[in-house]
A and B are shown apart, each in its own frame.
Chain A
């Protein structure tokens, strides 16, 4: 026992202070650069080891195998290349963290956006069926968090039928389905019905994946128009 203590003590004595540049910038440990020479200046980082962050260490994510990372990176980059540097600067997004089995308070999630730290953490093992759409969904949360006054939830909620009410939070409901409805009735997916913010993100992500959505749903048409109009207020050259 004493020997173990001695070894631990000697480790402490000889460990030097390290300059962890990435940690200093975005306060996430155990990351390394994956790619920073991108046309829109997004910096892609990956978890070289699992990391834990957040209030009471409630956010966890794990490192990936390189071959999985390489494949998923191409998909993510292809989608995020659609946002130019000027737009990304306006919405305050600079760092993309790639890891797997991302969870917040033990609930699995596709992404965690943080516009203050200019960071989007993405779970590269998230359901492949929705993977590309989810990338844009998470980007929308960054957009909305940076422009809360533009994406007014009260105006948005009034688009819905009178007796409809969103849940208190996105995890306070069982409405988590991400399949696109064939009969939309005001919402693209079951998850859209969780909160106004998630609803907006779902509309945005559907527009990004299929920009010429021709929908006969009057509520959804109003919602799509709201998103399109407000995106142009942020950047008049934004192309869906």
Chain B
């Protein structure tokens, strides 16, 4: 004969506690794993812009980053950036250089393409359109969210690579060619993958797309 053993109250409490603990553990695991969870995605169609013709929408893993371009500050730099946007050259290009809370850099069209990334040469690639003259004369406040063209140690070597700063960098004025500023979605850039011990990222995040708001 099988006797039924009834669980005591304390055993029931322990059982409920274990269930709750397991729920909390697995719930937290999935919440923490989703790095974009608390990032607000900005829909450019719902925003009114003063200069919609100068708005570029950069789509990254955690959503949209809305950039206002400044053709009056760096006409040639902005023209190059728009040319590459319109040819969709930046799509699937890696954020190959990322420094936590400092900057994200992308735009190596030659060695940074998804599926064809070359870790040995990334950061040195060219667009095939030639280099640009640095545009450094106009006053520009390099505060958080500023977008500028990257270059080598020498001036007048700007091409397709660009960076966005995640903190104020006043010393960058007259050093780098500014092309615009992030006006919405900077928090999506703060979630771009970085490494603790290297500026260059192994298995990096990619640009999904960049499009001009008005084609």
A20 to B36, CA, bound (A): 28
Contact present for A22 and B171 (CB under 8 Å): yes
**Interface 1/0 per residue, B183-200 and A, CB below 8 Å:** 000000000000111110
Contact present for B175 and A25 (CB under 8 Å): yes
Near B by CB (< 8 A), chain A positions 34-54 give 36, 41, 43
Contact present for B171 and A21 (CB under 8 Å): yes
CB-nearest residue of chain B to A117: B153
Contact present for A17 and B198 (CB under 8 Å): yes
A17 to B99, CA, bound (A): 7
Contact present for B171 and A16 (CB under 8 Å): no
**Interface 1/0 per residue, B89-133 and A, CB below 8 Å:** 000000000011011000000000000000000000000000000
A94 to B172, CA, bound (A): 12
Contact present for A19 and B175 (CB under 8 Å): no
A17 to B194, CA, bound (A): 10
**Interface 1/0 per residue, A19-30 and B, CB below 8 Å:** 101100100000
In the assembled complex, the CB of A129 is this many whole angstroms from the nearest CB of chain B, namely: 34
Verify if A33 is at the interface (C-beta below 8 Å from B).
Answer: yes
Interface of A is mostly: loop
Interface of B is mostly: loop
In the assembled complex, which residues on chain B have CB atoms less than 8 Å from the CB atom of A22? Answer: 171
Q: For chain A, give the interface size range.
A: 10 to 19
Verify if B170 is at the interface (C-beta below 8 Å from A).
Answer: yes
Contact present for A94 and B174 (CB under 8 Å): yes
In the assembled complex, which residues on chain B have CB atoms less than 8 Å from the CB atom of A94? Answer: 174
A16 to B98, CA, bound (A): 12
Verify if B169 is at the interface (C-beta below 8 Å from A).
Answer: yes
In the assembled complex, which residues on chain A have CB atoms less than 8 Å from the CB atom of B175? Answer: 25
A15 to B197, CA, bound (A): 8
CB-nearest residue of chain B to A94: B174
In the assembled complex, which residues on chain A have CB atoms less than 8 Å from the CB atom of B174? Answer: 41, 94
In the assembled complex, which residues on chain B have CB atoms less than 8 Å from the CB atom of A21? Answer: 169, 171-172
Partner of A36, one of B171, B198, B199: B171
Partner of A19, one of B99, B195, B197: B99
In the assembled complex, which residues on chain B have CB atoms less than 8 Å from the CB atom of A43? Answer: 171
A15 to B196, CA, bound (A): 8
Contact present for B103 and A19 (CB under 8 Å): yes
Contact present for B195 and A17 (CB under 8 Å): yes
- Greatest chain B CB density within 10 A among A21, A22, A36 is at A21
A33 to B169, CA, bound (A): 11
In the assembled complex, which residues on chain A have CB atoms less than 8 Å from the CB atom of B199? Answer: 17, 19
Residues of chain A whose beta carbon lies under 8 Å from any beta carbon of chain B: 15-19, 21-22, 25, 33, 36, 41, 43, 94
Pairs across A and B, CB under 8 Å, 18 listed? A15-B197, A16-B196, A16-B197, A17-B195, A17-B196, A17-B197, A17-B198, A17-B199, A19-B99, A19-B102, A19-B103, A19-B199, A21-B171, A22-B171, A36-B170, A36-B171, A43-B171, A94-B174
Residues of chain B whose beta carbon lies under 8 Å from any beta carbon of chain A: 99-100, 102-103, 169-172, 174-175, 195-199
Q: Enumerate the 3 nearest inter-chain pairs by beta-carbon distance, A residue then B residue, closest first.
A: A19-B102, A19-B99, A16-B196
**Given A25-B175, A33-B171, 8 additional A-B pairs, CB 8 A:** A16-B197, A19-B199, A21-B169, A21-B171, A25-B171, A36-B170, A41-B174, A43-B171
